[in-house]
Amino acid sequence: AMTLTRETLHFKPVLEAKFAELVYFGLWYDPLRAALQAAVESTQGVVSGTVRVKLYKGGCTVVGRSSPFSLYDYSLATYDRADAFSHASSEGFVQLWGLPLKVWGRKQREAGE
């Protein structure tokens, strides 16, 4: 999740399921399997880094991770004076993101009248 975009992360389970299905049915040489393999390989170029784990009584806990390709940017994720994000941009985003619910609510009120 550190180095892949949200859309890539959301698509991976779909890709994995289809890939597994093709392999399960013995369709290793199907052109779709090769295309899916290429998609997997194209996303893995940035999956690199270091993970620190704590091993204790048969358990394993991630205690740190880093990557030169990390998409996390503290200046975009924080709300302090040093942040790089323009908070004025959020108003329009919130209005657009909530528009479908606003329309749904209006339709519900109209149906109830």
pLDDT digits 0-9 by tens, 23-53: 999 999 999 999 999 999 999 999 999 999 9
Q: Which amino acid is it at 14? A: V
Contact 47, 70 (CB under 8 A): no
pLDDT digits 0-9 by tens, 80-105: 776 777 777 788 888 898 999 999 99
Category of 86 on φ-ψ map: left (φ > 0), alpha (ψ -120 to 50) or beta: beta
Q: Which amino acid is it at 46? A: V
Q: Which amino acid is it at 79? A: Y
- Show the tokens assigned to 5: 């975009």
